[in-house]
Amino acid sequence: MDSREVADLAREWSAALVDCDGVPTSVPDDIRQLTTRWIVELEAALSAESFDPSPACRVGVEMVRSNLTVPAMMTPTAAVLAGLLERSRRPDRAQRFGALLGELGRGYTTELLDVHARSQEAAEQRFRVVFDNAAVAIALYDNYGITLEANSTTARMVGMNQEDLPGVSALDLMHPDDRDKLRHTVVGLLKRGCGTAHFEGRFCRPDGSVSWGAWTMTLVHDTGGGDVRVLAVGEDITERRAMQQKLWWEARHDPLTGLPNRHRLLEQLEAIVAAARPADHIGLCFLDLDAFKLINDRYGHHAGDSVLAEVGRRLDATLTSPTVTPARIGGDEFVALLAPPCDDATAHAAAETMLATLRDPVPVGPGDLLSISASIGAVVTPVAGANAEKLLDDADVGLYRAKAAGRGTWVLHRTDNGPGAGQ
């Protein structure tokens, strides 16, 4: 960030803090100087090659020492951190953001506890207000993972009443598939005896819904050095995870048919190759519609898309074995991946099934039915150590042979024992 951007962000932050009614209007310039320095320190920590989140802890401490303890101030403070995150281009910026947020919360909370030690009644009241009303989720656990305290934001995240959370094990709130991950994370943190740990996992709410949370956990030692607590600062990332999943799916599936696309097919092939044993074979049935261009020319591309969508639907509805993956890899070309173990008979059955799905006419308009056919080039080949792209190329060779043999035919090509044909 250049000096102008820093000044603009500091002005917005300091103005937001003043608007929270916790800062005397006579000292806005002092607050702006503080926020300017804090922004520089936080941005430097987020961008440094060697990551050190401790500046955020110092910012949290200084906020308390500057009497910036009105609960509403956490919202613009979190917004500033989020703004720095948006400007960052580092691949690990999300983890760094979580660590900085956790350190800021740790410094903020630790300093409040120190104030409590110096002036117990006044500090306890301020801490309670901040803890209960923070915009981020804050929870405190003992070293066995039992909830000691949790604010209302945490209660909303896990779908429980705030008063019911103390005494509840954190593991009991987690999705069963994520409990070992949480246990491993916390045990590692306790063994280190200091620092922070980042965790993302699913919560099972009492109403049966599942939500995602991202937490930064920090060890907090009491003033006597005895008991250890785990301070968790987090946010609900359910919508973000849903968007990531949506983007992942769209990148790997054909938008017209919903079938896996070439990218996804290659990923699955590569996974099969990586796990294959020496004797394992796979099958690939490469289907191409006969004279598809004539359909587009006669009925239009909208009708052509309807035909492709119907072919995809039929293949998906018919090739239901968990070892068979139908995909559309472009144009009017479809592929069925037959996972190991696969032999000639398996490929034969798959090719015949694929051709059979096309025997019934396809509707292309009101009252119009169109008979279609396809050619299939099938290959059965050893898979261990193979190249995924080469496997598709081999199936394509079989397709050209099928095209030469006439409509509605399939040709089987074995890369180890020679070709065969079917009809």
Distance CA 98, CA 314 (A): 46
Select from 16, 51, 56 the least CA-distant residue to 39.
56
Cβ burial, residue 79 (10 Å; 0-12/13-18/19+) = middle
Q: Is 203 helix (H, G, I), strand (E, B) or coil?
A: strand
336 vs 141, 178, 212, CA distance in Å? 51, 34, 35
Q: Which amino acid is at 155?
A: A
Is residue 255 a contact partner of residue 305, using CB atoms and an 8 Å limit? Answer: no
End-to-end CA distance of the chain: 67
Is residue 157 a contact partner of residue 174, using CB atoms and an 8 Å limit? Answer: no
Distance CA 329, CA 186 (A): 45
Q: Which two tokens stand for residue 322?
A: 């968990």
Distance CA 134, CA 244 (A): 27
- Catalytic residues, by residue number, are 332
Widest Cα–Cα separation across the chain? 92
Select from 101, 106, 93 the least CA-distant residue to 48.
93
Distance CA 277, CA 40 (A): 55
Whether residue 382 has a cis bond before it, omega within 30° of 0: no
Distance CA 99, CA 51 (A): 10
